[in-house]
Amino acid sequence: MSSLRKRVTITIREDLLHGLDRLVDRERIRNRSHAIEFLLSRSLQSKPTQAVILASGEGVNMRPFTYEVPKPLIPVGGRPLLEHTLALLREAGLTHLIITVSHLAEKVEQHFSDGQKFGVHITYAHESKPSGTGGALLAARKHLSNNPFVVLYGDVLVKLDVNDLLKTHRETKAAISTIAVTSVADPSAFGAVKLRGTRVVEFSEKPSTSADTSRLVFAGVAALSPSVFSFFPKRHRAGLSLEDDIFPKLISEGRLFAYPFEGEWFDVSTPEIYERVLQQWKG
């Protein structure tokens, strides 16, 4: 995609102009021209972009909550955790969703059904038992088109410009995956990321913390091209991990890139973090 721009003159209705101005926040949308470009880019996408939500884990670290309630249905701000992700994607115009399910899958499907009442269309990819983030993505593969797509971890709460992530991914010709990264004080519970420019040169899952440990961590959101599946092992195995098995291969070929952001973000992985989410998540 070319980044060259040409100056054009347009005449626009005053009410539409007011609508454009409401989009301008000086950060995500810089000015009127950027607002017009943003809306055109979204509306002219040739095919709907799909999103895969990995929600088939057992939520072991969230027990006892997850003995009876699947993690996607744990309440945050008066609605289930996963509803916040659906709202993020719907607002970005991503309405073709694939949700991977396994643990207490029937409860997730009963709540979300086909997604119509949430303004999206949901397809479920079933796993007989959770098989890691890589295994869950493989379960969703048969439902994907041959276009870039977004992957989100089902236990993540995030405020992120998903369209800008996708745009960055498409414009980075060398990228097979572009991962959203954010900064934290203590990266030891996450996947620490070292960059050269925006190219990822090192990914350390749950590293020990020292002075030279990167404070940038993988936020559980990524844009991927379909060719990512060529980096998966030919024989499926239990516990296949994007972080441990796929990302290192992409790094070795210079095909993993980063999208830094500083929006709200929580990895709702333990009761302690959940308690903090209930107090701090603005939604």
List the single range of 26-35, 66-75, 144-153 with lowest mean pLDDT: 26-35
Statement: residue 133 has pLDDT above 70: yes
Instruction: Name, in order, each residue with C-beta under 8 angstroms of 131's C-beta and a sequence gap of 6 or more.
Output: 138, 139, 236, 238, 239, 240
Q: CA dist 136 to 97, 100, 175, 247, 258, Å?
A: 14, 6, 22, 15, 22
Amino acid at 269: S
Mean pLDDT of all residues in 156-176: 93
**Which of 13-27, 41-55, 201-215, 237-251 has maximum average pLDDT?**
237-251
Mean pLDDT of all residues in 200-222: 80
Mean pLDDT of all residues in 56-71: 79
List the single range of 49-53, 194-198, 237-241, 263-267 with lowest mean pLDDT: 237-241
Statement: residue 145 has pLDDT above 70: yes
Distance of CA 211 to the CA centre of its chain: 29
For residue 1, name the pLDDT band (cuts at 50, 70, 90): very low
Can you say whether the dihedral through the CA atoms of 213, 233, 60, 117 is positive or negative? positive
Predicted local confidence at residue 169, as pLDDT: 96
Give the 3-state secondary structure of residue 155: coil
189 — phi, psi (to 5°)?
-95, 5
Statement: residue 282 has pLDDT above 70: yes
Burial grade of 54 (CB within 10 A; 0-12, 13-18, 19 or more): buried
The residues pairing with 257 across neighbouring beta strands, listed in sequence order, are: 178, 199
Decide: 28 and 161 in contact? Cβ < 8 Å: yes
For residue 2, name the pLDDT band (cuts at 50, 70, 90): very low
In SS3 terms, 60-92 reads as HHHCCHHHCCCHHHCEECCEEHHHHHHHHHHHC
Predicted local confidence at residue 10, as pLDDT: 85
Mean pLDDT of all residues in 189-199: 86
Statement: residue 40 has pLDDT above 50: yes
Burial call 94-105: b when 16+ CB within 10 Å, e when fewer: bbbbbbbbbbbb
pTM, whole model, 2 decimals? 0.81
